[in-house]
Structure 1
């Protein structure tokens, strides 16, 4: 974690991707949905994206809109950009949430839907409900699954086309990546289009 901004490795990789490979900050008006906004990003995004920037969460009282991502209260093809990082592993019906992201994304839009990949194949068991049991099974007390490399299949089932980018894709020089605080533990970027 950065002692200055509080960013983790995954945040630094995402920032690098957003600034180098997307049109997020091109000064064109956009409707941007940011689910469970990270404190290291939210003030910057509010300032740079303006009136089209919307923060949402089911439990956090500091967001702009209380939202259950399995039932998004916005019309079809409303958002130009959807950002959702490390949320779906907390959602019992993640497939429904992913379909809602697809439904509300404009045909010309894009989404970045990040999860921690912790296995080869996704493991979930809805009968595991006790926090201690979830910690053992899924790696965290409030997770409901442990995602595997087949996460991409869930995104594609909803209709998304997915492009995966790794740290090495963004910063091929290993020493430069280390200087930026990026390692294989930074995760991967899942860039989704309709």
Structure 2
């Protein structure tokens, strides 16, 4: 199964993959129902989760119901337990909207929820992240998760997110990160897809972020809190929810 999922991820364009998933997902969720792992986003449990990964496949990480990964479930738990996101009125921009959140956020009556992306079929507004078509100080929340590693000019993208965020607003800007690496590695001369997958972890990534990622955000103007929210859970809970021990959530605020 791992080799099949790896082939699908590396050969089917993401917009098509999103559309196909809505057909296949209900069948897989029914087939895998059980009691071993629980997706906290919708509360459903399964005997196993699905594998996922463009290069090295990780076992039991993709939820059969919401299609959430470790980072989605961790963020959901953080928002649910530590913020008023689910209750307070807010205007939200979701860049490259994730399926794990899309339908749930869309249903929330307290949110004015807007999605944006150049290619995603889930986007309300087709736009370049480096040139967002929104006025300054427009949003209480901005979600932009696992996007910046795809963007050649990531600093400009960060500046645009900062610009459209309201004062006292919060941006969640998750990225794949090597916390053992002090500085970010990028090499624009690497254009071969296989080589990019080997070096950057995915064929369409342009860098591997190190711990200096947080300083990049601070230099743009954000106040950044590096939250290891997995510390709030027992070993049993981490296994139950299939979380990634030690993953950092960058909570970025505009003061």
In which range does the TM-score fall when normalised by the shorter chain? over 0.9
Of residues 162, 176, 183 in structure 1, which corresponds to 2:237?
176
Residues 138-167 of structure 1: CA deviation (Å, up to 9, x unaligned):
111100101111110110010001111114
Give 1:43 shift.
0.5
RCO (CA 8 Å, sep 6+): is it higher in 1 or 2? 1
Are the aligned partners of 1:167 and 1:188 in contact in 2 as well (CA < 8 Å)?
yes
* Alignment CA distance shift 1:75-1:87 (3 Å): same
1:68 aligns with 2:128: yes
1:97 aligns with 2:150: no
Residues 55-89 of structure 1: CA deviation (Å, up to 9, x unaligned):
11111133101111111111111111000110000
Structure-2 residue corresponding to 1:131: 193
* Helix, strand or coil at the partner of 1:52: strand
Structure 2: distance between partners of 1:156 and 1:184: 25
TM-score (norm. length: structure 2): 0.71
87-96 vs 136-145, greater mean Cα deviation? 136-145
Structure-2 residue corresponding to 1:4: 65
* Alignment CA distance shift 1:18-1:49 (3 Å): farther
TM-score (norm. length: structure 1): 0.92
| C-alpha RMSD over aligned residues | 1.6
Runs (4 or more) in structure 1 with deviation over 2 Å come to 167-170
Structure 2, gaps ≥5 residues long? 1-61
Structure-2 residue corresponding to 1:79: 139
- The count of residues paired between Structure 1 and Structure 2 equals 191
1:158 aligns with 2:212: no
7-16 vs 121-130, greater mean Cα deviation? 121-130
42-51 vs 52-61, greater mean Cα deviation? 42-51
* Alignment CA distance shift 1:157-1:22 (3 Å): same
Of residues 126, 132, 145 in structure 1, which corresponds to 2:207?
145
